[in-house]
């Protein structure tokens, strides 16, 4: 423009790229570890043996993969992004590690996982909960999993009764595994940096696994944590909860009658497939979910439920303060009275 100053535009800084030219997508949870000291620390804390087969989930461009190959016998890497798969193959092609690295391209939640000794994962945070329980219920035993989580999610794993973050996830995970917090990881250790800090958690499956019905236990905890700071008496008086439990109770009675003398255990096994059908999350349910319930039989069943809570001294207790053993005891009281959650 005449008489005006020409404003020079600053060249735009390149978006977050790996030196090989691969761009990372935050929307897909791609945050690559760039701090070599942190990578070394994770490998050290994993306690890898030279004979270990290591499952790595989300290897990205292979910064952690290389250290895992140096420490263990074999690495099986599961990666969804085809660009990352090609980068991994390119990076290790022609090296002594190439015949000890197996790359599986696919969604880890839909992939049948092979046998492994240790899992090490820097995962997209949006799959944290389903992946955790996929590993815990893996058909073949493994020694431990060392996983990078969003910090708040990680601290839920290790939270104890009375902690602000204590929730259904805390109780569930700690029933099936010993969980410990290893280290906090600042967001600037990643490329591109996420919005929040992370933490590395070690999960060791309990051996033997607890003898509980998984669907029954999960259904029970979902009810208890509808409002974790409300009394259990208040929660179990909600119409939606009573309707669900009464429906299960009547279904069980009908199944037992149809079996003509079969054991209650067999009837319970038939009912296992009738789960509550909710996803694994820690969202509390709204009180608006309540619906009207008829009088008569409904009131009689409500009294049955309240009697269970009173028998165990749980009516005035809150889920946020209950220990794992207390939850197991309360569930046993409900089941003893013929009340089931799945």
DSSP state letters, 70-121: HHSSEEEEEES-HHHHHHHHHHHTTSTTGGGEEEEES-TTTS-----SEEEE
Each residue's pLDDT tens digit, 253-306: 888 888 865 544 444 433 333 333 334 445 555 444 544 354 555 789 999 999
Over 60: is that where the pLDDT of 238 sits?
yes
Q: What is the DSSP letter of 203?
A: E
What pLDDT, on a 0 to 100 scale, did the predictor assign at position 23? 60
Q: Average pLDDT in the 171-197 region?
A: 92
Over 80: is that where the pLDDT of 323 sits?
yes
Q: Scanning the structure block, which residue is given the tokens 């046998």?
A: 115
Over 50: is that where the pLDDT of 138 sits?
yes
What pLDDT, on a 0 to 100 scale, did the predictor assign at position 67? 96
Q: For residue 81, what are the contacts with CB-CB under 8 A and spacing of at least 6?
A: 28, 30
The CATH code that applies to domain 212-256+294-341 is: 1.10.8.480
* Pick from 54-58, 79-83, 184-188, 292-296: least confident: 292-296
Using CA of residue 259, residue 264, residue 269, residue 273, what is the dihedral sign? positive
Residues placed in the known binding site: 31, 33, 58, 79, 107, 122
Over 90: is that where the pLDDT of 2 sits?
no
Query: Which stretch of DSSP H or E encloses residue 68?
Result: helix 63-71
What pLDDT, on a 0 to 100 scale, did the predictor assign at position 282? 52
Check: CB of residue 48 under 8 Å from CB of residue 56.
no
Domain ranges of the chain: 26-205, 212-256+294-341
Q: For residue 300, what are the contacts with CB-CB under 8 A and spacing of at least 6?
A: none
The rounded distance, in Å, linking the Cα atoms of 94 and 44 is 26
Nearest to 302 by CA among 311, 293, 313: 293
Over 80: is that where the pLDDT of 335 sits?
yes
* Pick from 91-95, 203-207, 298-302: least confident: 298-302
Over 80: is that where the pLDDT of 321 sits?
yes
At the topology level, CATH places domain 26-205 in: Rossmann fold (3.40.50)
The structure's pTM equals: 0.80
- Rounded to 10 deg, the angle between the 239-259 and 297-312 helix axes is 100
Over 90: is that where the pLDDT of 216 sits?
yes
pLDDT band at 203 (very low <50, low <70, confident <90, very high): very high
208 preceded by cis ω (within 30°)? yes
pLDDT band at 34 (very low <50, low <70, confident <90, very high): confident
* Tokens linked to 69: 């190959």
What pLDDT, on a 0 to 100 scale, did the predictor assign at position 193? 82
Residues placed in the known binding site for S-adenosyl-L-methionine: 31, 33, 58, 79, 107, 122
Backbone angles phi, psi at 263, to 5 degrees: -70, 155
Each residue's pLDDT tens digit, 73-92: 999 999 998 998 999 999 99
Pairing assessment for the beta strands 144-150 and 118-122 based on DSSP bridges: parallel
Q: Average pLDDT in the 53-74 region?
A: 94
pLDDT band at 158 (very low <50, low <70, confident <90, very high): very high
More confident residue, 267 or 335: 335
- Measured torsion, CA atoms of residues 295, 297, 298, 301, in degrees rounded to the nearest 10: 150
What pLDDT, on a 0 to 100 scale, did the predictor assign at position 125? 85
The rounded distance, in Å, linking the Cα atoms of 314 and 327 is 10
- Mean pLDDT (the chain) is 85
* Tokens linked to 55: 């499952």
Check: CB of residue 115 under 8 Å from CB of residue 76.
no
Judged by DSSP in three states, 177 sits in: strand
Over 60: is that where the pLDDT of 317 sits?
yes
């Amino acid at each position: 423009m005449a008489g005006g100053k020409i404003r020079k535009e600053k060249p735009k800084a390149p978006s977050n790229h790996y030196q090989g030219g691969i761009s990372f997508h935050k929307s897909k949870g791609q945050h690559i570890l760039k701090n070599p000291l942190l990578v070394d620390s994770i490998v050290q804390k994993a306690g890898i043996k030279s004979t270990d087969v290591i499952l790595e989930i989300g290897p990205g461009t292979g910064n952690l993969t290389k250290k895992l190959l140096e420490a263990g016998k074999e690495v099986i890497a599961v990666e969804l992004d085809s660009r990352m798969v090609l980068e991994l193959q390119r990076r290790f092609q022609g090296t002594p590690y190439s015949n000890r690295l197996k790359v599986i391209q696919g969604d880890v939640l839909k992939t049948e996982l092979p046998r492994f000794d240790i899992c090490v994962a820097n995962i997209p945070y949006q799959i944290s909960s389903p992946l955790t329980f996929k590993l815990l219920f893996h058909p073949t035993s493994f020694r431990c999993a060392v996983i990078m989580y969003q910090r708040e999610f990680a601290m839920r794993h290790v939270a104890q009764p009375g902690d602000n973050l204590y929730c259904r996830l805390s109780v569930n995970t700690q029933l099936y595994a010993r969980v410990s917090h290893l280290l906090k990881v600042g967001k600037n250790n990643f490329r591109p940096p996420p919005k929040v800090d992370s933490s590395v958690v070690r999960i060791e499956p309990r051996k033997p696994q607890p003898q509980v019905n998984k669907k029954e236990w999960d259904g029970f905890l979902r009810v208890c944590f509808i409002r974790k700071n409300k009394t259990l008496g208040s929660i179990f008086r909600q119409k939606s909860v009573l309707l669900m439990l009464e429906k299960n109770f009547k279904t069980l009675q009908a199944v037992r009658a149809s079996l003509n003398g079969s054991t209650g255990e067999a009837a319970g096994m038939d009912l296992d497939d009738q789960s509550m059908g909710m996803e694994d999350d820690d969202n509390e349910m709204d009180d608006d979910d309540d619906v009207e319930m008829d009088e008569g039989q409904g009131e009689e069943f409500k009294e049955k439920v309240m009697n269970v809570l009173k028998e165990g001294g749980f009516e005035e207790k809150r889920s946020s303060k209950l220990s794992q053993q207390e939850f197991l005891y309360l569930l046993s009281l409900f089941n003893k009275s013929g009340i089931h959650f799945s």
